[in-house]
Structure 1
Amino acid sequence: MSDLPRKAVTRTAKLAALPLGIAGRATWGLGKMIGGKSAEIVGRELQQRTAEQLFKVLGELKGGAMKFGQALSVFESALPEEVAGPYRAALTKLQEAAPPMPTATVHAVLEERLGDDWREYFLEFEEKPAAAASIGQVHRAVWHDGREVAVKVQYPGAGEALLSDLTQLSRFAKLLGPLIPGMDVKPLITELRDRISEELDYELESQAQQEHAREFAEDPDVFVPEVLHQSEKVLVTEWIDGIPLSEVIADGTEEQRDRAGQLLARFLFSGPARTGLLHADPHPGNFRLLPADEGDEDGAWKLGVLDFGTVDRLPGGLPSTIGHSLRMTLEGEAESVYELLCGEGFVKENIELDPDAVLDYLLPIIEPAQVDAFTFTRDWIRSQAARIADPRSPAHQLGKQLNLPPSYLLIHRVTLSTIGVLCQLGATVRLRDELEAWLPGFLAEDETTEELEEHEEPEEDEELETAEGDEAVTDEPAAKA
């Protein structure tokens, strides 16, 4: 591949070939059945060929097409097994790799951003990329101070490519719908478009990663590499080895799966509480299992977290409404849950629902929080997807009447994506422990504390100290981001 395909007409032609190819294979399949092959065998062959073409095109184009493929990949576990089987290998490949851009292009970007003497920054620089993603690729190198580093180089024209791809993909979103039965992919594409400018901005990514690296610097469970250098299209961070989560999903031991799942859930809920930021790209390629520090009592692994290009800014952590509604649902308080959902806009003003029916809709989804330890499986998430997707089911009819407020859209997607990864892992996780430790409002005393804080009037000196403290915080990366 000579370069990232940037011309809209070239990329559009490749993407437009996808639905045509799907239609062509359907005709091929009909011919095979007329020729005597069973529908089941033909169906498997058709899915295999479709998967191969879909992810070959998405991988080659990188940009928004590959970003869309990565976003879909975490929902793989919700697919029925007869559909998921042919897609699984292609999805895993997409999570970890894509065709590299030419060496000359990499050098041109480094010369433009670091100067003609860019090699002086490094003692060593590997020309072959260690990983390639949707908007950039990573090279392994040795920084001038001797530290091993990851050098992230953005593809030239990545912004234009992202917008072009997602515009084109949105035009035939309905054709892509069968990839995830019961899921409307158009809002997913719209949300990806809204996040493009942030993900292209390596300064924002640098600030978000630095904030996490500072907060988790001494953490026994989570490791975030430090940022050593940032310019417009180049980001240099500490290198981390470890086992990619995609490999743990494919071949990990039960201990590794359970530990990875527990730490993934811990990071999902503790990150916003500790940094005011939600890591919003939880596909397996962004996580590593690392050997834990010597002397740790809580298992032999810690979680390495990569890629902070997409974050949701939550200064107060996750909204306490989530914790309150989850706790009240578990306690069977149908009326209170319904009132809270109405107040937050999950139920529109012109719609009236039965509170008990809403409770019945929610309870199976939150089953992992009802027990001390829950084993996430593909069968469980498939049953949830089937329950909501079946047009004949009460859950489907009720779900169509619920609304997702814009402020919850990214939180919702990240949570669902993380659950998808937990199901791919088949991990047994003590989710309730993480909710009690990190989710505001989940414990009843959280609500009491909030009420007390609302009624307390600070002394004049305390108000001054608070104002001065707020002013000081604006110098922190998270605030500037």
Structure 2
Amino acid sequence: MANKPSTTGLAVPSKRLSRLWHMGRATTDFASGIGLRGMIELARSREGDGQRISLSPQATQRLTNRLARMRGAVMKMGQLMSMDGSDVFTPEAAEIMATLRDRAEPMPLSQLNRVLTAEWGKDWNKQFKRFEFQPIAAASIGQVHRAETRDGRRLALKVQFPGVRESIDSDIANLGFLSRNFGMMPEGFDPAPMLEEARLQLHEEADYEAEAASLRAYRALIGDDPDFLVPAVHPDLSTSRILAMDFAEGVSVERLSASDFSRGERNRVASLLSRLMIRELFEFALVQTDPNFGNFLYDADSRRIVLLDFGATRAVSPDLIEGYRALARATLANDQAGMRQGAVALGYIGDDVPAEQAARLIDLISLSGEVITSEGPYDFGSSTLFERVFARGRDMFQDKQFSHMPEPATMFLQRKFAGIFMLCRRLRAEVDLRAMLEPYLLDASAHSGVD
């Protein structure tokens, strides 16, 4: 037993009032970091002005540290904010925020030992030839340790933070309280269904037995694909709070943005993950909805992409699949009426939305569809689409144009779509999404399952 962590870490806050206090402090850190003038300028800025949030490194560090200490649902929200912080934050702030994608504060060694003892028994260490106490990764719900068993298996062990599962309900309740009382939502926009869906999803992510089942199901769908690797589960060491998997070599795919990798390799990896996203929706009907860059590793020796973290895996209903198919068809055809029907089917637009408001929403969807309507490979590296969509959506928010809650299940699919877009942008890749998508739109039954 070696490699003890150099830091002891701080225990996760578990009481609702304590977590609300930390959440409030995080909000205060964010507001004070921007400053009154910055908040006014951000609110006044309009489309195309390139406005970015100028958050000082010191204020961002305080915000990041607080979110990292809280872990759980609140840190998950921070990770979503930081998926591609270079688009919204200054480079200095983005560098600090990016730590939320890769690392939370590790739990104290005493807490770690209590979790391992509770799950495996007091003599748990006798099962291992080597166990690295220093985690190789830590995120919002758990941390990962490298180990080797007495019988020679090289494993990655995901160990859940104590108290995180129990704090999910209070975190969501606190987010609801803040959204209702501090103007975080448009007028008439009820966040309750979305927050309830998020609450259920987070409980699923915190159930490692359910994640193990999803991992096995996804591994079966991938099969012997030469481009992807899904680690195998080791049931004898897996519990509801520990997930034991094969250890897989590789670096986070965002590292391919460095000069060590060619444009061709970046394009290949971005194209593979984009095609996989489309297959998940239209072929697998099973989507891993957490596109955190750290969930995709690249093994330069085998040129395979390792797929990790299946806690947010969701089955997609046939109705939802057909809704996306109809919306994509209409978007490619620039069929405004068809786009409205598809948007209504997905819950993006209510049946009773005024015509002018519906038209603005359709325009936003049409703008977002630029990645599939362009002929040939789309150049994500030079694209300003994120800024344009962000600015258009902000203007509509300020004009109170969002008055309908979409189908909650689409929130997690949109999270995947946006994450892959951001990854393609990070890699400065050129990807022909239209060519990948069109075969799935021609015949609804052609790709409805896996042989």
TM-score range for the pair, normalised by the shorter chain length: 0.7 to 0.9
Query: Do 2:376 and 2:432's aligned partners in 1 also have CA atoms closer than 8 Å?
Result: yes
Cα distance between partner residues in 1 of 2:278 and 2:127? 37
> How many residues are paired up?
417
Q: Report the counterpart of residue 355 of structure 2 in structure 1.
A: 353
Q: Report the counterpart of residue 38 of structure 1 in structure 2.
A: none
| 2:376 paired with 1:372 | yes
Q: Report the counterpart of residue 336 of structure 1 in structure 2.
A: 338
Query: Do 1:272 and 1:317's aligned partners in 2 also have CA atoms closer than 8 Å?
Result: no
Instruction: From 214, 222, 225, give the equivalent of 2:231.
Output: 225
Q: Give the secondary structure class of the aligned counterpart of 1:55.
A: helix
Q: Report the counterpart of residue 444 of structure 2 in structure 1.
A: 446
Identity among equivalent positions (%) equals 26
Q: Report the counterpart of residue 424 of structure 2 in structure 1.
A: 422
Instruction: From 263, 266, 274, give the equivalent of 1:265.
Output: 274
User: 1:291-302 to 2 correspondence within 5 Å?
Assistant: 291=300, 293=302, 301-302=303-304
Q: How far apart are residue 357 of structure 1 and its match?
A: 6.4
Which one-letter code corresponds to 2:14 in the other structure?
Answer: R
Q: Report the counterpart of residue 12 of structure 2 in structure 1.
A: 4
Gaps of 5+ in 2: 1-8, 39-51
Instruction: From 21, 24, 27, give the equivalent of 1:13.
Output: 21
Cα distance between partner residues in 2 of 1:111 and 1:228? 18
Q: Report the counterpart of residue 134 of structure 1 in structure 2.
A: 140
| TM-score, normalised with respect to structure 1 | 0.76
Q: How far apart are residue 239 of structure 1 and its match?
A: 0.8
Cα distance between partner residues in 2 of 1:382 and 1:73? 15
Q: If each structure's helix is expressed as a fraction of its own residues, which one has the higher value?
A: 1
186 and 304 in structure 1: CA distance in 2 versus 1, 3 angstrom threshold: farther
Q: Report the counterpart of residue 326 of structure 1 in structure 2.
A: 328
Q: Report the counterpart of residue 51 of structure 1 in structure 2.
A: 60
Cα distance between partner residues in 2 of 1:361 and 1:44? 22
| 2:241 paired with 1:239 | no
**Larger Rg, first or second structure (1 or 2):** 1
| 2:89 paired with 1:89 | no
312 and 69 in structure 1: CA distance in 2 versus 1, 3 angstrom threshold: same
Instruction: Out of 339-348 and 202-211, give the one that drifted further.
Output: 339-348
Cα distance between partner residues in 1 of 2:206 and 2:379? 37
192 and 361 in structure 1: CA distance in 2 versus 1, 3 angstrom threshold: closer
Q: How far apart are residue 135 of structure 1 and its match?
A: 1.3
Q: Give the secondary structure class of the aligned counterpart of 1:364.
A: helix
Cα distance between partner residues in 2 of 1:69 and 1:53? 13
Query: Do 1:62 and 1:134's aligned partners in 2 also have CA atoms closer than 8 Å?
Result: yes
Query: Do 1:125 and 1:139's aligned partners in 2 also have CA atoms closer than 8 Å?
Result: yes
Cα distance between partner residues in 1 of 2:331 and 2:204? 35
Query: Do 2:270 and 2:429's aligned partners in 1 also have CA atoms closer than 8 Å?
Result: yes
340 and 101 in structure 1: CA distance in 2 versus 1, 3 angstrom threshold: closer
Q: Report the counterpart of residue 82 of structure 2 in structure 1.
A: 73
185 and 95 in structure 1: CA distance in 2 versus 1, 3 angstrom threshold: farther
| 2:109 paired with 1:103 | yes
Query: Do 1:67 and 1:134's aligned partners in 2 also have CA atoms closer than 8 Å?
Result: yes
Q: Report the counterpart of residue 153 of structure 2 in structure 1.
A: 147
Q: How far apart are residue 188 of structure 1 and its match?
A: 6.7
Cα distance between partner residues in 2 of 1:11 and 1:123? 38
Q: Give the secondary structure class of the aligned counterpart of 1:49.
A: helix
Gaps of 5+ in 1: 31-42, 294-300, 454-481
Per-residue deviation, residues 354-386 of structure 1 (Å, max 9, x unmatched):
787665443321111122210224622112221
Which one-letter code corresponds to 2:378 in the other structure?
Answer: F
383 and 77 in structure 1: CA distance in 2 versus 1, 3 angstrom threshold: farther
Q: Report the counterpart of residue 287 of structure 1 in structure 2.
A: 296
Query: Do 2:33 and 2:56's aligned partners in 1 also have CA atoms closer than 8 Å?
Result: no
Query: Do 2:30 and 2:60's aligned partners in 1 also have CA atoms closer than 8 Å?
Result: no
Q: Give the secondary structure class of the aligned counterpart of 1:270.
A: helix
102 and 120 in structure 1: CA distance in 2 versus 1, 3 angstrom threshold: same
Q: How far apart are residue 278 of structure 1 and its match?
A: 0.8
Per-residue deviation, residues 155-214 of structure 1 (Å, max 9, x unmatched):
111112333334334444487969xxxx99998765432312111111110000011122
Cα distance between partner residues in 2 of 1:409 and 1:258? 27
Q: How far apart are residue 133 of structure 1 and its match?
A: 1.1
Cα distance between partner residues in 2 of 1:111 and 1:362? 51
Q: How far apart are residue 269 of structure 1 and its match?
A: 1.7
